[in-house]
Amino acid sequence: PRGASLTDFAERIGVDVSSLVQMLFSLGEMVTATESVNDETFELLGEELNYVVQVVSPEDEDRELLESFDLEFGEDEGDEADLAIRPPVVTVMGHVDHGKTKLLDALRNANVVDKEAGGITQHIGAYQVTAEVDGNDRRITFIDTPGHEAFTAMRARGAQATDIAILVVAADDGVMPQTVEALNHAKAAGVPIVVAVNKIDKPEADPTKVRGQLTEYGLVPEEYGGDAMFVDVSAKSELNLDKLLEAVILTADASLDLRANPNQDAQGLVVEAHLDRGRGPVATVLVQRGTLRVGDSIVAGAGYGRVRAMLDEHGDTITEADPSRPAMVLGLTAVPGAGQTFIVVEDDRMARQIAEKRESRERAAMQAKRRVRRTLEDFMAS
Ligand code: GDP
Ligand code: MG
């Protein structure tokens, strides 16, 4: 891997970096843990460790695997005319205790209007709500999972999951380190930000101060002549949640062209997944393009199978899911990882072949790592 350091390498294979430094030293190479290392040094290390140093990234390898089946992840197919408006996908970011979870819950509950009392709302890690904007019903998808760090990692790989970020800032606390961190993440990813100035029910709330602070970080409120929408909310008192949803839609309309082709085989991301005792592997997926249907053959990470049933965020069964729609999928053979992709393929056989290749690769990588660890332990002990 170009520009990688021994530390990066050690992290990938799960060993202590100092043992790598010492091993290279014994081979006559002086390399520090953090400097970037050339390919020859890696190869030297590889020979010593009986480890095939991977020059190809796992992502490239997977792309090649899909290509060999004439598949590609991440492109809308068809003509311009096939593209239809899709809802924005939103994640909520912000400093700890500023109210991210409370806000996500409030938005979810406020929208579950036509559920009978006693009806169970499933926690599926993502949900859609409807907002009325200019007399039109507009849908918004929220990703609601503590695992959404996975999505930060995915962004680095170019698989964008989020269209808009809601930055939650508690008005009684103001801008804090993780506020700035979240802001920088969103900026780096080119994701527009809507600011939810939260906890305005508190007497000590100072929403003007929050505006001033964020202006200093280059996030200037519209009312100050900037282009970021700020909405004062209370997740606790469910105040101004409709305004927040409206701000999300207005921001999407103003700065994004959110369209996808629903008329193709579905592709998207795994938001979360777990093994259910009765139902087997259960994965919440976010459809990014195409339409996912019951009966489709899919491969998700190293899991595959035919979609046996799908549930929405209310626990109701659905037969299809269009772009930006989250759905709980039943029927996979294995539990995929959060942040992995899913893709619909021609038939079960193809799905199985791809999944098996992925699995054997994962297994080989794990065995190689184990071997390396053992070799290094022997070296350090000698
Ligand atoms: P997170 O760490 O960002 O997910 O924060 P939480 O949603 O867990 O909220 C942290 C604390 O702040 C909890 O005790 C919430 O009840 C409280 N909280 C969240 N939103 C509000 C609000 O709008 N007003 C008040 N007064 N408290 C809130
Ligand atoms: Mg939380």
The string of pLDDT tens digits covering residues 87-128 is 999 999 999 999 999 999 999 887 654 444 444 455 678 999
Ligand 1 centroid to 233 CA: how many Å? 12
DSSP H or E run through 101: helix 100-111
Q: Does the beta carbon of 146 sit less than 6 angstroms from any atom of ligand 1?
A: no
- Our mutation pick for probing the ligand 1 site, out of 93, 102, 198, counting the most ligand atoms within 8 A of Cβ, is 102
C-beta 148 within 6 A of ligand 1: no
- Tell me: pLDDT of 22 over 70: yes
Q: Which of 303, 301, 290, 292 is nearest to 331 (CA)?
A: 303
pLDDT of the residue at 84 = 93
Place of tokens 């019903």: 137
What mean pLDDT do residues 240-251 have?
96
Q: What is the pLDDT of residues 314-372, one digit of tens each?
A: 889 999 999 999 999 999 999 998 888 999 999 999 999 999 999 988 888 888 888 88
In this structure, what are the phi and psi dihedrals at residue 222, rounded to the nearest 5 degrees?
A: -55, -40
Predicted local distance difference test score (pLDDT) of residue 122:
57
- Does the pLDDT at position 229 exceed 50? yes
**ipTM value greater than 0.85:** yes
Nearest ligand 1 atom, CA 94: 3
Residue 89: which region, alpha, beta or left (left: phi > 0; alpha: psi -120 to 50)?
beta
CB 222 within 8 A of CB 193: no
